[in-house]
Amino acid sequence: MLSQKLHDAINEQINRELYSAYLYQAMSAHFAFESWGGFAHWMSLQAHEEQEHAERFYEYLLDRGARVTLKAIEQPPVEFGSALDIFKASYEHEQYITASINAIYELAVAEKDYATQQMLLWFVKEQVEEEKHASEILALLERAGDRIHALMALDHQLAQRS
């Protein structure tokens, strides 16, 4: 049986993952409005991935016989700056999510909940990838600066994400 502390922490993580999806969809909408289709596409796929992460936590709670409690999702920002600003925010957000998952893992270790530890290992590995992807794009944007041709090439590259 899942402890109340872990139950609450995982429900909170579901909310964080849903907010992540909402945030990335807002970033996608910003890029689409600004006619950066590749950036918009990348962020839209990222939003769907975050939704899937929420679903994994959701299913895990149900598998453990625990109640899923969905809470209100905070509104993401409406205004965003440059692509560089957005990917800085994305990278920082992924670091926040990593810290949150690590804290839940530490709680699972303290409570000797081996099933939850095992489930969380997938997320620990996934967060390495999430941070890597965001930091790589951030580095490319930093190198591109304001050079429109470099930004257009990166936009084209991000449109290829499947």
Give pLDDT tens digits along the chain (162 positions).
899 999 999 999 999 999 999 999 999 999 999 999 999 999 999 999 999 999 999 999 999 999 999 999 999 999 899 999 999 999 999 999 999 999 999 999 999 999 999 999 999 999 999 999 999 999 999 999 999 999 999 999 999 998
CATH number of the domain within which 77 lies = 1.20.1260.10
Q: Which domain holds residue 151?
A: 4-158
Distance CA(57)–CA(154), nearest Å, equals: 33
* pLDDT score of 58: 98
Cα 51 to Cα 56, 116, 146: the distances in Å are 9, 20, 32
Say if pTM beats, i.e. exceeds, 0.85: yes
Secondary structure percentages of the chain, helix, strand, coil, to 5:
80, 0, 20
Report how many domains make up the chain: 1
* pLDDT score of 1: 85
* pLDDT score of 6: 98
